[in-house]
């Protein structure tokens, strides 16, 4: 099962690593969207979240304090869902549906990150470091 957990960690981490690439290469576009949602310091926030996703994704994939990385990613995802994916405010049916899908995705990923943090704390298999928290 150690290999299954490793493969799962890598698959989970790839999403965040690729998202980080988008944040860091399409910063202006994403900052415009963030600004339209009322986020202060939009460009800095986009760059910061890109760095968090990149470092967090790599830490999870390689098992370098993966428990901490998982908790940080969960802590970013939950407020992101409530700030950017406000489906309850949308009036257009298609926009509402897309926002709800994105909201649900972020909440589900946060839940998976929390479960992964637990897995790192009790079964740190095939990792570079042990857990930071236990």
Q: What is the pTM of this model?
A: 0.93
Q: Is 129 within a domain?
A: no
Q: What was the pLDDT predicted at 125? A: 82
Residue 128 lies in a domain: no
Whole-Å CA distances, 24 to 28, 41, 77:
9, 15, 17
Residue 133 has pLDDT above 90, yes or no: no
Residue 127 lies in a domain: no
Does residue 134 surpass a pLDDT of 80?
Answer: no
In a domain, 134, yes or no: no
Write out pLDDT tens, residues 98-130: 999 999 999 999 999 999 999 999 987 899 898
Domain region containing 118: 2-122
**Is 53 contained in some domain?**
yes
In a domain, 60, yes or no: yes
Give the pLDDT confidence of 27-86 residue by residue, as tens digits. 999 999 999 999 999 999 999 999 999 999 999 999 999 999 999 999 999 999 999 999
Whether 97 is in a domain gets the answer: yes
Count of structural domains, the chain:
1
């Amino acid at each position: 099962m150690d290999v299954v957990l490793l493969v799962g960690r890598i698959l989970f981490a790839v999403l965040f690593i690729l998202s980080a690439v988008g944040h860091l290469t399409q910063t202006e576009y994403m900052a415009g969207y963030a600004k339209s949602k009322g986020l202060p310091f939009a460009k800095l926030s986009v760059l910061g979240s890109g760095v968090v996703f990149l470092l967090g994704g790599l830490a999870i994939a390689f098992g370098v304090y993966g428990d901490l990385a998982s908790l940080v990613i969960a802590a970013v995802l939950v407020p992101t869902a409530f700030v950017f994916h406000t489906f309850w405010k949308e009036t257009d049916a298609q926009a509402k549906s897309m926002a709800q899908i994105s909201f649900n995705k972020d909440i589900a990923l946060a839940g998976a990150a929390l479960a992964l943090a637990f897995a790192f704390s009790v079964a740190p298999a095939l990792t570079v470091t042990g857990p930071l928290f236990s």
